[in-house]
Amino acid sequence: MANNRKYFGTDGIRGEVGSYPITPDFVMKLGWAAGQVLAEQGNSRVLIGKDTRVSGYMFESSLEAGLSAAGVDSMLLGPMPTPGVAYLTRTFRAQAGIVISASHNPYHDNGIKFFSAEGRKLADDIEIAIEDMIDQPMKVAPSNKLGKAHRVRDPEGRYIEFCKSTFGIGANLNGLKIVVDCANGATYKIAPDVFKELGAEVITIGSSPDGFNINEECGATSPEELQSVVVSQGADLGIALDGDGDRLIMVDHHGDILDGDELLFIIARERQRARGMNGAVVGTLMSNLGLEHAVRTLGLDFKRANVGDRYIMEMLHENDWTLGGESSGHIICLDMTTTGDGIVSALQVLDAMVRSGQSLNTLKSGMSKYPQTLVNVKLSQQVNVMELESVKNAVKEVEAELGKTGRVLLRPSGTEPLVRVMVEGQDGAQVKKLANELAEAVKGAISALAA
């Protein structure tokens, strides 16, 4: 539903800086519109945090001006991870939190996303009301009603203490050597201190932001340097966050990557072992079949949401479940916090290491990832390929060959004229062959339509 809106996508409003709507005039109007709507919901106080992009200064000022014009006070956090803004919004009893970030995108992109007073993504009706208000003429509040701006004192320290509180009581990281890659992003002042204060020896990389190097060959989307440093320094593990700190990838002492599926399994197993889990673990349509099978061996159910942490969150809330995540590294521990949090998720994995006395490499061995092949097929016209009879038959043939040990997924891209053909199974060579055959069948069906 969110995708059909004029401005808001599944994760706020995002795009290239200088291209509409990621312009200072639009963002000021957005701040005003949000202020008008939020002021009707309760107190008129909004937190603003940002990552380390150079454009963050400009958009922070734009939001501040728009909110002030609507009679709403701004509380400025400076560089702050997205989940940190969600946490502080709750603790300050603010009406909303706003994050200026394009997450894992390069510096020339930016975006605006909102949190409710509860530290969750805004309700659909609030986003729609803000969109409707953007299209109204901007009316400035009387001078005696204008909003003010305040700098929040020590927001980093407040959030660091919260992160540490999610680690096992009385437990510590003494004796562990950890490499932390902050992606030259919003966690650069925070993540290293969290792990140091819990007792770890920390080597930090990706912690010298200059406004332009966020996510550049570093962080969760480019962990190659982290892998190298972990091995060369003889570290026990590596932690890679993305530019706004809501995504996590880890590296074991051999330099091997653990993606979100493997980390989610480790957390689920520890939760189940320590106190038992209520309900299912939630993944997405793209979660590895090996994760689903491994979770079921724990005696837990596994459910798949649409791709995107928003949809995972919706399924968790609807069913009162607590744990879900994506293979990209967005992991949601609702028994700890209200949104995906890379630092908190890393601490849950480290808690499992400490309690078990096992290495990260050993902990991941409880799950075997199935080979997965993804082929992108370009669409020359708008068509739902799954409605085409020849494609349906091709899918049935592949599913019959795979049996119960594999699966097929055809998914349209949300941003490009593509359909993604994914095949997964136990035999890597078979999976690759079937994926390519199915992609050819899809191409043939599309060509036949155009003829």
Active site residue 103: yes
Are the C-beta atoms of 142 and 67 separated by less than 8 Å? Answer: no
Residues 435 and 406: their CA atoms lie apart, in Å, by 12
Are the C-beta atoms of 442 and 419 separated by less than 8 Å? Answer: yes
φ, ψ at 169 (rounded to 5°): -60, 125
Residue with tokens 């106190």: 275
Residues 6+ apart with CB under 8 A from 211: 52, 53, 54, 107
Q: Residues 44, 68, 103, 287: which is the catalytic one?
A: 103
Are the C-beta atoms of 211 and 236 separated by less than 8 Å? Answer: no
Q: What is the DSSP letter of 72?
A: -
Residues 96 and 244: their CA atoms lie apart, in Å, by 18
- Strand partners for 194: none
User: Angle at Cα 202 formed by Cα 180 and Cα 261, nearest 5°?
Assistant: 35
13-16, strands of its sheet edge to edge: 13-16, 109-116, 96-100, 45-50, 73-79, 149-151
CA nearest 290: which of 361, 363, 371, 360? 371
372-378, strands of its sheet edge to edge: 372-378, 418-424, 407-412
Other C-beta atoms closer than 10 Å to the C-beta of 6 total 11
CA nearest 339: which of 3, 4, 11, 9? 11
177-181, strands of its sheet edge to edge: 201-205, 177-181, 237-241, 248-252, 257-258
Structure tokens at 261: 């599926």
Burial environment of residue 334 by CB neighbours within 10 A (0 to 12, 13 to 18, 19 or more): middle
CA nearest 405: which of 376, 381, 429, 425? 425
Residues 315 and 332: their CA atoms lie apart, in Å, by 12
Catalytic positions are 103
